[in-house]
Amino acid sequence: MSTHPHPGLPLEGEGEKCAKDGKGYDANPHPTLSPEREEVAVPGALARYADHVARWSVIALGFSIPISVALDNVLLVLILAGWLASGMYSLKLQIPLNNPVALTALALFALLLIGTLHGVSAAGDAAHYLGKYTDLLFIPIFLFLFRDAATRRNALHAFAASLALVLALSYLIKAGIVPKNPLIVSDANYPVVFKLHLTHNILMAFGAFLYAWLALTAKSLKIKAVWTLLALLAVINLTMMVHGATGYFIFLGLALLLGYDRGRWRGLAVAAAGIAALAAVLAIVPGPFQERTNSIIKETQGWKPDRPAQNSAEFRLEFYRNTLGIIADHPLIGVGTGGFPQGYAEKVRGTGKTETRNPHNEFLHIAAQVGIAGLAVLLWLFWLQWRLAARLSSPLECQLARGLVLTMVIGCMFNSLLLDHTEGLLYAWLTGLLYSDVKSEEIGNRQ
């Protein structure tokens, strides 16, 4: 029996320590869960089998997310069916009641559900857009299925292996060894694999961060060398082989976070100097980074608000400006879930500007649909996750949780990530994996 006053949460001061001590999963055989939490009895043979299927499916989902939307959907059906058939309903009900991350995610979905009852959405748009946010409903399910350390460890390694496969295929495509085929979306000049460049670079940016922390927390020198090599290959891939500005910004943020976590302000200064040196080199070497940064600078300098946009950067600035206008016109309840396309069309009617179904900014998109309250809940969700990361019991989970939040905050500034399948599902899946042992009452006792 554990003598810890709050099983599943670190002792006073340990949450902050997890950012500095460099220990990983192997430092504790049960790094985030007390024995009581791990030994949950599943009643009945059928229920045990359903739980087994659901837990292995949620592990497989980590491997599937970077690769296949179709396989994702099959696994989500198996996860939902297994979760429903595995019993333990009182325990499952306690998760959204006791876990503040789950509760806040459900509150955001509830606002979006209410948003379907009003607004200016065209026929079918309300249901279509609400369906895009159903990943939020899976967070409590993932939290339940990731209730033991072994499942989380296996799932994280499955995700790391999937990213390694994508990375290897990208290099093979670049080398011309893997020819273009129906399963690959690119060629040697554009070596992405299963996803388009924006998603590919987001995955590689987070992957580099994941591999770096796996290297830092590994005990074996051989394993440490493997993770380090994968981190370096991911950085080269996203900066020198594939263009994707969102991925560049996320990598910048994660590199600075890594530097700060390792050495506080001195580490942050070292990371900033390293990034500046890398950017200086990439800026003068012909390649995707140079091309994309030069085009962004040129395009943004030529933007004029009163003139219809002509290129990618101008379109984004135009979308942001007009969406802010929609929010100003409907600050309290927005234009309704799924009402953005119609609301934007009305905003730009007669101006010659291009209509869009997505402002390419999740914060603006949520505010435009369900008002300032929706934006406040989204910001609170991210802030809550950042704040609770320091209380996670494993140093690795602590750092990955912070990296997930930073990835989402930066990514949502340039894209509607919760609306996108891969990014939205990855966020829900990692949230379930990393925050499965957080409880509201325990947090209240710590404050």
Judge whether 334 and 370 are in contact, CB under 8 Å.
yes
Distance, CA of 182 to CA of 11 (rounded, Å): 52
Q: Give me the pLDDT at residue 8, please.
A: 35
Q: Give me the pLDDT at residue 222, please.
A: 94
Q: How far apart are the first and last CA of the chain?
A: 25
Q: What is the pTM of this model?
A: 0.88
Low-confidence ranges of the chain (pLDDT < 50): 1-17, 19-39, 440-447
For the segment 88-137, what is each residue's pLDDT rounded down to a tens digit?
Answer: 888 898 888 889 999 999 999 999 999 999 887 777 899 999 999 999 99
Nearest to 160 by CA among 57, 62, 257, 258: 62
Amino acid, single-letter form, for residue 323: T
Distances, alpha carbon 198 to alpha carbons 109, 163, 237, 303, 417, in Å: 25, 15, 13, 23, 11
Amino acid, single-letter form, for residue 297: I
How many other C-beta atoms are found inside a 10 Å radius of the C-beta of residue 122?
12
Enter the DSSP assignment of 283.
H
Q: b/e per residue, 272-281, with b = 16+ CB within 10 A? A: eeeeeebeee
Q: Give me the pLDDT at residue 27, please.
A: 37
Q: Give me the pLDDT at residue 18, please.
A: 55
Sign of the four-CA dihedral 397, 402, 403, 405: positive
For the segment 240-257, what is each residue's pLDDT rounded down to a tens digit?
Answer: 898 888 999 999 999 999
Distance, CA of 360 to CA of 366 (rounded, Å): 11
| 228 dihedral zone (left: phi>0; alpha: psi -120 to 50; beta) | alpha
